Amino acid sequence: MPELLSAYRFTDLDRLPLLRERLKVRAAELGLVGTVLLAEEGINFSLGGSGQALDAWVVYLAADHGVDDLVSNRVVVGNLPFLRLRVRIRPEIITFDPALKPGQAPTGEALNPADWHALLQRDDVQLVDTRNHYEYEIGSFRGAIDPDIETFTEFRDWALKHLDVDRPVAMFCTGGVRCEKASAWLLANGYEQVFQLEGGILNYLRDIPAEQSHWQGECYVFDDRIAVNHALQPTGRLICAACSRPVEGLESDGMPPVSPQRDCRICGQHFEARRLAGLRERVRQIALARERGESHIGPQAQPEAAQRSREYSS
């Protein structure tokens, strides 16, 4: 069975164009598919392939490039949620604040799932979901605060307005990388007690039995699985073919319900005739691919929106 490895590491990297080509060649040699993001601050990737190939990839990063001690999540999957390999250079491996250096600046106290589970019993902690609102809507920890943000960069202003600087803050995200930056930012702005879930939600779901868990609902993931349950299995949740977000009220093909005036009945977005025709053709192609037993790149998302959404948060 193929496996999926999602990981990040904040560490100083240089000569990024050369590094990109070397990583791309090695990943291709190993038959890996997925996305690798590089920045001067570090690496963030989600790759699928055989277990042996992923082991070799981790060894290669450490031995040839000094990138070790990854914060990672690894799971066996029925089908790989990627169709091809991308290695990209970005200003940040997770967009937030370029001035922050999580590899150098203090970050929050990272708690393993068992210690995090115990922390959730306390009533003096401000439990904060650092993810976007559409992620929170389909699942979160019981009692977690939703900042109701559309992008991660909005978290800074929200935190200053809503979090009590004198009370402990416990934050979490999908795989941990967002909390590295958010916790460093809070500590730099006067917050003294900041905790973060090591390895993120996915690590918690893997280690804590469902019957004991404080997690409720599904966890949105940034690949073609869309969302996973407590057993880390895809739930079959749909995303909108127009905005690439999980929303209720979609048809099985992901096409948003459109009024005769070409307005989405869910969010009100207006579609020009050409754009609407393109969406309908896309969902038709997805349906044809499924009938053939194949995957369609996307899988349902409009290409530009999907790319912005998925490259790459965790």
The beta strand positions in the chain, using DSSP E, are 3-10, 33-39, 42-49, 71-76, 85-89, 109-111, 126-129, 139-141, 169-172, 194-197, 215-217, 219-220, 227-228
- Helix and strand element counts for the chain (H, E): 9, 13
Peptide bond just before 299 cis, omega within 30 deg: yes
CA 38, 44, 48: angle at the middle one, nearest 5? Answer: 115
264 part of the active site: no
Q: Give buried/exposed letters for 98-131 (b at 16+ CB in 10 A, else e).
A: eebebbebebbebbebeebbebbeeeebbbbbbb
Catalytic residue, candidates 173, 219, 243, 264:
173
* H runs (alpha helix) in 139-235: 155-162, 177-188, 200-207
**182 close to 96: Cβ distance less than 8 angstroms:** yes
Between vectors from CA 133 to CA 159 and to CA 11, what angle results, nearest 5°? Answer: 65
- Residue 13, classed as helix, strand or coil, is coil
How many CB atoms are closer than 10 A to CB 91?
A: 9
Q: How far apart are CA 276 and CA 268, in angstroms?
A: 14
| Structural contact between residues 126 and 152, judged by C-beta atoms closer than 8 angstroms | no
User: What size, in residues, is the chain?
Assistant: 314
Residue 211 is given by DSSP the state G
Active-site residue set: 173
